[in-house]
Amino acid sequence: MDDNYGQFCTVARGAEALCERWTPLVVRELMCGSKRFNEIRRGVPRMSTSLLAQRLRHLESIGVVRRSAVGKVWEYGLTEAGEELRPIVLALGHWGARWIGSQLTEHELDAGFLMWDVRRFVRLEQFPPRPVVIEFLFSDARTGETHWWLVVEDGAADLCRDDPGRDPTLLVQSTVRALTEVWTGDRSPEEALRSRELRVLGAAGDATALWAWLGRSAFAPTREAARREAPAAS
């Protein structure tokens, strides 16, 4: 069976190129700065490695992705055509934040992807000059994903799944849903703290600064605005 729409319309042809399952998320990962195969894989943890390799080859074949050898490894980056997708992908995310919201099922909650997203968008400029270690403990994450450490030092952030052996600056205890909803703008940190689904343990000043350090999802402001507008629209 032919897998194209059989139309000259560029909407149809663009959809054929980019709307296969997982393809927009692979583009999203490249937009967010992932370059190596394993970095991209961390942003799409439920995608098989063989399918990821296939999608990258497809994107390379249509001129959206460029692959280049760096030492002994391959790195991937967006071409000019790929960069032109940036406003389209961002618009899709903002549309989803405004009109769909989170409304997450248990299947959609993923501590690993949440922590990877947090790590790459931390506001390094907001951190103090001293090293900061934030330990995250999820009460309901899948086996092997309950414990994470975010280490920020010398202007760089590192995400660890094994104890780095350093005293934590802060301990964040949470359900996966609570921290995800704070991250995406569906709840404020204060709401989650009041519900006791989220706790932050450590020095008061550091605990207060945590949210300035971490920031929020790129789409959180849109979601928060939609929440504020909802009562007036109902």
Q: Is there a domain that residue 31 lies in? A: yes
Question: Three-class SS of residue 170?
Answer: strand
d(CA 163, CA 175): 20
Residues 165 and 122 in one domain: yes
CATH number at residue 123: 3.30.1050.10
Does residue 1 register a pLDDT over 50?
no
d(CA 80, CA 28): 15
Q: Count CB-CB contacts under 10 A for residue 203.
A: 10
User: Which residues in 18-169 belong to E strands, given as ranges?
Assistant: 65-70, 73-78, 132-138, 147-153, 156-160
Which candidate, 63, 70, 160, places its Cα nearest to that of 115? 160
Looking at the DSSP assignment, which residues form a beta bridge with residue 78?
65
Does residue 233 register a pLDDT over 60?
no
Q: Is there a domain that residue 91 lies in? A: no
pTM: 0.87
User: Would you say 66 and 78 are in contact if contact means Cβ atoms under 8 Å apart?
Assistant: yes
Q: Is there a domain that residue 98 lies in? A: no
pLDDT tens-place string over residues 112-152: 999 999 999 999 999 999 999 999 999 999 899 999 999 99
Residues 50 and 147 in one domain: no
pLDDT tens-place string over residues 159-199: 999 999 999 999 999 999 999 999 999 999 999 999 999 99
d(CA 6, CA 9): 9
Q: Tell me the Ramachandran region of residue 224: left when phi exceeds 0, alpha when psi lies from -120 to 50, beta otherwise.
A: alpha
Question: Three-class SS of residue 35?
Answer: coil
